[in-house]
């Protein structure tokens, strides 16, 4: 049986329909993750982040990070030793929001804190967001680190 123009046109329409159905199925199954679930509220308070970054930039040194043997070591600047009132570390994983974690920033008297990677924090590439209070001033610093 030879295919004439009408048969070929029907086959093209069927192939087009199958292609469109596949694309619709794939688009419905795609997950879109927001950077933050309450990004609008955070955007309104962003001036506080800018001020905290300025405070952190005025320190003599930034927070120092080292990663070895699945241990992340955090060293606070020298003028922050023993005066950090409260703080938190946000482990933000851009590729998977299920890996996002928030821990308390609790440096010891020497200004160090150690965190074991693999228990509460899964290995991945993270943007580390440090937020802390000292002497009634807010401080903020971001670092990117691959914790594999």
> CA 36, CA 34: separation in Å to the nearest integer?
5
72: nearest Cα among 9, 7, 18, 123: 123
> CA 92, CA 124: separation in Å to the nearest integer?
10
For the chain, 148 residues long, give each residue's pLDDT as a single digit of tens.
Answer: 688 999 999 999 999 999 999 999 999 998 777 667 777 787 788 889 999 999 999 999 999 999 999 999 999 999 998 899 999 999 999 888 889 999 999 999 899 999 999 888 999 999 999 999 999 999 999 999 999 8
| pLDDT for position 40 | 78
133: nearest Cα among 109, 104, 108, 112: 104
């Amino acid at each position: 049986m030879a295919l004439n123009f009408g048969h070929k046109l029907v086959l093209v329409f069927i192939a087009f329909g199958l292609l469109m159905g596949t694309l619709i199925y794939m688009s419905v199954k795609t997950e879109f993750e927001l950077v933050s679930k309450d990004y609008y509220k955070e955007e309104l308070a962003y001036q506080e982040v800018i001020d905290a970054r300025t405070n952190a930039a005025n320190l003599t040194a930034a927070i120092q990070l080292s990663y070895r043997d699945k241990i992340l070591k955090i060293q606070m600047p020298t003028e922050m030793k023993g005066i950090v009132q409260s703080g938190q570390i946000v482990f933000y994983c851009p590729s998977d929001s299920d890996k996002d974690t928030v821990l308390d920033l609790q440096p010891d008297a020497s200004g160090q804190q150690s965190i074991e990677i693999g228990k509460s924090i899964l290995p991945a590439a993270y943007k580390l967001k440090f937020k802390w209070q000292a002497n009634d001033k807010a401080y903020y610093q971001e670092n990117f680190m691959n914790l594999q």
